[in-house]
Chain A
Amino acid sequence: MSGQSASGARRSGADAASSAEAPVVEARGVGKVFPGVTANAGVDLAVRRGEVHALLGENGAGKSTLASILCGLYQPDEGTVLVDGRPVTLRNPRDGLARGIGMVHQHFRLVERFTVAENIVLGDRRQPLVLSAGRVRSAMVELGERYGLSIDPDARVGDLAVGEQQRVEITKMLYRGVDVLLLDEPTAVLTPQEADALFTTLRAMAADGKAVVLISHKLGEVLAVADRVTVLRDGRVVGAVAADATDRHQLATMMVGREVDLSPRRAQSPPGVAVLDVRGVSLRPPGRPARLAGVSLQVHAGEVVGVAGVAGNGQRELAEVVAGLRAPTEGTVVVAGRGTTGRGARAARGAGLAYVPEDRLGTGLAPSLSIADNLLLTRPLGFFVDRRTATADARCVIERFDVKATGPAAAVRGLSGGNVQKVLLGRELSDSCTVLVVASPTRGLDVGAIEFVRDLLDERRRGGVGVLLLSEDLDEIRALADRILVLFEGRIVLERAGGDADLTELGLAMAGAGA
């Protein structure tokens, strides 16, 4: 999705200069067991100065655990960690920092009420008793210029956007003088543009002789930014390859352990009648800016319409209005010829709509209820609940979708992300629906599960269902959509056919620069 625009020239001096010397940080035969889970087993990893090294693997493959061991957060049960060729014992992250190893976690460790500068010096024992704001500031300016990390030192962290908070975390690590920076799924929270900016920063750090370890399960970004890729599966290293000597297909196969087909899927036949008709829908909460402003769109039978947009630009509201969960201030929604505007979720379902919300566990599913109970959630029920049929249904879904669970009575909370989505899709897709609204259906899923979900949605399309797909991930949209709409600040600012949509154009429109 992002970063392909950056040229191959970025991989300049790094490889040639440093491949001979000892790795700056290395794991040898590292193993780590958590109660019930073997997170790492016999893992070898060597990271050299001047390279961006990607740790690629599916959810639960052990990437984060390995990185946590390298930075001193966890101690390995077996094996050794070497820094500059010498074995070390890192008892805690402070030890790691002392050796020049720092990590930016998925969940930031910042104090929201503190300013950026305060966060940067927080916990730094080198600071004098009385903090010198000027020194921190000038250091920040210098780092900002060198690596493209500009942030206002006096801004409160709580007021910053997620991408900016991430820059604070990175600056904090650089300020501490790390030589090795580990980043855990850094792009999960970023827009494509922010991700590109991050990649530029990472390349600049590598060019400066630092080592960057990028944890990811996204093939595109790994290929775009990394020099070398180490692939993990089930806690073990499957292989380490140079990024320019491999491709998506090979990496996906290594990651999943079998052949995966992630090629885009499009409608095979021309779309039929309009099954979803949204006209002039606006949502204006009193006293606040409009969430949706005059949105009109149609979805036809046998068509996937993708709505792209950065989070917070109205996709969620649009999905909820269409699904009947919110009443729009203006405009109408017609599902399969029946007006459902503001008549509630049940009316929309009654008209033939199914909805897979972005928040699967908590909105789409009740977390501590069983699979069987969750399958009943959106079904019409009699006065007494028929448990036996529900259990039988659950067995069906578990078998048909290959859900990994102990049985129909298993709480969905205990399932992995992919299996949670399978239960949700199993319920929403097995109803005879004519319109399907899905929000970020493959977000956070493994490659294998992504393939499964895409196949499923494609199969529904071929079955004549009209699909409205909302996502901020352009890969996801482009893989399925026959038409793509871009939503920015509650308006549709761009419409393109799925096949020939230009990535840059879509990205700019999402950022509000298009049209």
Chain B
Amino acid sequence: MTALRAVHLQRRPRVRPWQLVAVPVASIAAGLAVGAVFLTLTGHDPTMVYPAMLSAAFTTWFGFTDTLASATPLIGTGLAAAVAFRFGLYNIGAEGQLYAGAIAASGVALALGEAVPAPAAVTALLLAGVAGGMLWIAVPAAARAWLGTSEIITTLLLNYVALYWMRYLIFGSTSFWRDPTSTNFPQGKPIPASAELAELGLTRVHLGLGVAVLAAVLVTLVLNRTRLGFHLRVYGDSEAAASYAGINVRRLVLAVLLASGALAGLAGAGEIGGRAHALDPQGLALGLGYAGIIVAALARYNPLAVVLVAVLLGGVRNAGTALQSLPGGRVPIAISTMLEGAILLFTLGGELFIRYRLRFGRGQGAATAEDLESVPVASPAEPTTR
């Protein structure tokens, strides 16, 4: 009882801009600190491992370009989650939409064959990915718009359908996607070279990165500058206000969810055209769609921040692989997965401290957040910029 009284949360009268940056940075630091405990317990020296991770992921040219390549699909799935979550539409199905995009993209590329010139083939591949992702979310989107069905459940369940369908195409059948020449382990048929995304020099960075960044810029522009974006912000803030203003809410829900699916599908197409060059069920099923949710949450659903966070998270994932061959002793890949989880946990927990602060002592024990909310706040959160 006394312990409970000694510490309590108090709503901040105003949120200052620096807090929006400081809190996530502190959260990441806390996540790394917890990671350090585990590293020490498993017999590794954090002061060795963290610098090694940094160089493997960011401070060497190969490390950094590999990080960018790993970040590319995360930008796509991160944007997919960001555009939907930001407006209260929880598309958990980026994973499945990415598979569907990959299946559509590889199918179209295979069907077009070598004869088509590269620019046309690449465009077709990307558009097919977009279409595949949209198609995969179309039913959940329509069910949400017209029937109010929870998109969380429907999109999530369709992830498994997409996963097993993709596996079936390669492992379970002699489908159009399967390579008939590989006799040992079943593999996807390689797409024609004309449909492959151009790579930057000898690195693994491919055109998909440019496409993903362009998508982020485009999403930002639409959200901030256009009527659709304005209506979405109104809808995201208050559905009643949107209806009051005569905005067609159903159309907005459809637009957001289809765009979200399209972005995830685009990520799938990028993986086919830029990395796998064939429908590769093993190589695609890395949880990129779920990781996108983490990226979007850390980026506070800001599309441009998604790019930065994707690079950060891509680096952590990339370092995990590199750490396995660390000279000072092998660090299991589970460590990087654990770090990813710790950073997410602390960042989501840290969100609380943007709005609330801890107060020690029992002086105002009864003044809970609820009570304080009734106190008029003299100045609103955001000061004017001019």
Interface residues of A, Cβ cutoff 8 Å to B: 34-37, 39, 59-60, 64-65, 68, 73-75, 92-93, 324-325, 344-346, 349, 355, 357, 359, 362-370, 373, 376-378, 381-385, 387, 405-411, 413-416
**A74/B241 contact (C-beta < 8 A), A406-B383, A406-B384 known:** no
Q: B230–A362 contact, CB under 8 A?
A: no
Residues of B within 8 A of A405 (CB): 380
Q: Is B363 an interface residue (CB 8 A)?
A: yes
Cα separation A416 to B374 with both chains bound (whole Å): 10
Interface 1/0s, chain B 343-386, versus A by CB < 8 A?
Answer: 00000000000000000000111110001101111111111111
Q: Is B238 an interface residue (CB 8 A)?
A: yes
Residues of A within 8 A of B13 (CB): 34-37
Interface residues of B, Cβ cutoff 8 Å to A: 10, 12-14, 225-227, 229-230, 233-234, 237-238, 240-246, 363-367, 371-372, 374-386
Q: A37–B376 contact, CB under 8 A?
A: yes
Q: B233–A373 contact, CB under 8 A?
A: yes
| Least CB separation from B237: chain A residue | A366
| Least CB separation from B11: chain A residue | A35
Q: B374–A64 contact, CB under 8 A?
A: yes
Residues of B within 8 A of A381 (CB): 227, 230
**A325/B243 contact (C-beta < 8 A), A369-B237, A377-B234, A414-B380 known:** yes
| Least CB separation from B233: chain A residue | A369
A-B CB proximity, top 5 nearest? A414-B380, A407-B384, A345-B246, A346-B246, A36-B13
Q: A409–B234 contact, CB under 8 A?
A: no
Q: B233–A59 contact, CB under 8 A?
A: no
Residues of A within 8 A of B240 (CB): 359, 362-363
Residues of A within 8 A of B226 (CB): 383-385
Cα separation A415 to B374 with both chains bound (whole Å): 12
**A410/B384 contact (C-beta < 8 A), A59-B376, A366-B233, A385-B225 known:** yes
Cα separation A355 to B233 with both chains bound (whole Å): 21
| Least CB separation from A414: chain B residue | B380
- Name 6 interchain pairs, CB-CB below 8 A, sorted by A: A37-B377, A68-B371, A369-B234, A378-B245, A406-B384, A414-B379
Cα separation A416 to B230 with both chains bound (whole Å): 24
Residues of A within 8 A of B14 (CB): 36
Q: B380–A415 contact, CB under 8 A?
A: yes
Cα separation A368 to B88 with both chains bound (whole Å): 14
Q: Which listed residue (B230, B233, B244, B383) contacts A363, Cβ 8 A?
A: B244
Cα separation A158 to B237 with both chains bound (whole Å): 29
Q: Which listed residue (B241, B246, B363, B376) contacts A365, Cβ 8 A?
A: B241
Cα separation A366 to B365 with both chains bound (whole Å): 33
Q: A366–B234 contact, CB under 8 A?
A: yes
Cα separation A349 to B246 with both chains bound (whole Å): 9
Q: How far is the CB of A141 from chain B (nearest CB, A)?
A: 34
Q: B238–A75 contact, CB under 8 A?
A: no
Q: A362–B241 contact, CB under 8 A?
A: yes
Residues of A within 8 A of B10 (CB): 35
Cα separation A64 to B372 with both chains bound (whole Å): 12
| Least CB separation from A37: chain B residue | B375
Cα separation A34 to B237 with both chains bound (whole Å): 28
Residues of A within 8 A of B234 (CB): 366, 369, 373, 377
| Least CB separation from B241: chain A residue | A366
Q: B375–A73 contact, CB under 8 A?
A: no
Residues of B within 8 A of A378 (CB): 244-246
Q: Is the interface of A mostly helix, strand, loop or mixed?
A: loop
Residues of B within 8 A of A369 (CB): 233-234, 237
Residues of B within 8 A of A407 (CB): 383-384, 386
Q: A37–B380 contact, CB under 8 A?
A: no
Q: Which listed residue (A92, A346, A411) contacts B382, Cβ 8 A?
A: A411
Q: Which listed residue (A39, A93, A377) contacts B241, Cβ 8 A?
A: A377
Residues of B within 8 A of A376 (CB): 230
Q: B384–A74 contact, CB under 8 A?
A: no
Cα separation A368 to B376 with both chains bound (whole Å): 16
Q: How far is the CB of B244 from chain A (nearest CB, A)?
A: 5
Q: B237–A368 contact, CB under 8 A?
A: yes
- Central interface residue in B12, B13, B229, B234, by most chain A CB within 10 Å: B234
Q: A74–B364 contact, CB under 8 A?
A: yes
Cα separation A378 to B365 with both chains bound (whole Å): 44
Cα separation A68 to B372 with both chains bound (whole Å): 12
| Least CB separation from B362: chain A residue | A91
Cα separation A75 to B378 with both chains bound (whole Å): 22
Residues of B within 8 A of A34 (CB): 13, 367, 372, 375
Q: B385–A409 contact, CB under 8 A?
A: yes
Residues of B within 8 A of A416 (CB): 376
Q: B243–A410 contact, CB under 8 A?
A: no
Residues of A within 8 A of B242 (CB): 366
Residues of A within 8 A of B379 (CB): 36, 406, 414
Cα separation A173 to B354 with both chains bound (whole Å): 39
| Least CB separation from B230: chain A residue | A385
A34-B367, A366-B242, A381-B230 given; name 8 further pairs at CB < 8 Å: A34-B375, A35-B10, A36-B378, A345-B244, A363-B241, A366-B237, A378-B246, A409-B385
| Least CB separation from A39: chain B residue | B375
Q: How far is the CB of B368 from chain A (nearest CB, A)?
A: 10
Q: A75–B382 contact, CB under 8 A?
A: no
| Least CB separation from A364: chain B residue | B244
**A383/B227 contact (C-beta < 8 A), A75-B364, A377-B241 known:** yes
Cα separation A68 to B370 with both chains bound (whole Å): 14
| Least CB separation from B14: chain A residue | A36
**A75/B363 contact (C-beta < 8 A), A36-B13, A363-B238, A364-B241 known:** yes
Cα separation A85 to B200 with both chains bound (whole Å): 85
Q: How far is the CB of A43 from chain B (nearest CB, A)?
A: 16
Q: Which listed residue (A36, A344, A387, A408) contacts B377, Cβ 8 A?
A: A36
Q: How far is the CB of A41 from chain B (nearest CB, A)?
A: 14
Residues of A within 8 A of B383 (CB): 406-407, 409
Residues of B within 8 A of A37 (CB): 13, 375-378
**A344/B246 contact (C-beta < 8 A), A36-B13, A36-B14, A413-B380 known:** yes
Q: How far is the CB of B226 from chain A (nearest CB, A)?
A: 6
Q: How far is the CB of A392 from chain B (nearest CB, A)?
A: 12
